Amino acid sequence: MATPPSLRIDSLKLALDAAEIGQHPVEVHGALVGLICGGVAQTGDTWIKPLFDLMNDGQPLPAQLHQLVCDLFNDSVARLVDFEFGFMPLLPEEEEPLSQRVEALSLWTQSFLTGMAIIQPKLNQASAEVREVINDLAEIAQVEFDVADDEESEAAYTELLEFVRIAAIMCYSEFGPEIPLGETDDTAVVH
């Protein structure tokens, strides 16, 4: 599933700037995905207040940005629920300098952890594997931005990005809503 143009970094950046909100788009997406992976209800709008608290000191967003954030929420949930859609953190494209992509990954990870922490009070009771992943994410959030723009650094970034992606999916599996066994779209059986 391709990301709609309205949900790309540049569109979100323009909307954030127009609303005079000093957040980077990767921070907004990271916090949003952190809330989702932390177990916020996916129906209704209970996720809006904690996100607005993080984004805009609890103040409502202008209508256009509000709609964009709602669309981003729905897109992120769909990608986390169905592995075929290929969840990925919202980050700068490969054309951007590696140091900017590393910084964006760090910001995304910091915001993801913050979103998870405010919505999931039982982080310390998670499985040992998820607690270890969360500790690793905390280290990634502190990664050094001054990196060489070479193949080795690019490979290391790709590895970190894949780790963060899988870590988010693991957290969603741990804290997200349970999917009842046997519930599929294939309800009709042909004999």
Tens-level pLDDT at each residue, the chain (191 residues): 555 555 789 999 999 999 999 999 999 999 999 999 999 988 888 899 999 998 888 899 999 999 999 999 999 999 998 867 689 999 998 889 999 999 999 999 999 999 999 988 887 888 999 999 999 999 999 877 678 888 998 999 999 999 999 999 999 999 988 754 444 444 333 33
Q: How many domains does the chain have?
A: 1
Question: DSSP state, 4?
Answer: P
Q: Please report the sign of the dihedral spanned by the C-alpha atoms of residue 170, residue 87, residue 68, residue 1.
A: negative
SS (H, E, C) 91-143: CCCCCCCHHHHHHHHHHHHHHHHHHHHHHCCCHHHCCHHHHHHHHHHHHHCCC
Query: What is the pTM assigned to this prediction?
Result: 0.88
Question: DSSP state, 84?
Answer: G
Asked, for residue 183, whether it belongs to a domain, the answer is no
Asked, for residue 91, whether it belongs to a domain, the answer is yes
Asked, for residue 189, whether it belongs to a domain, the answer is no
Structural domain including 159 reads: 5-175
Asked, for residue 160, whether it belongs to a domain, the answer is yes
- CA 68 to CA 166: how far, in whole Å? 25
Asked, for residue 51, whether it belongs to a domain, the answer is yes
Question: In CATH, what number is assigned to the domain containing residue 77?
Answer: 1.20.120.740
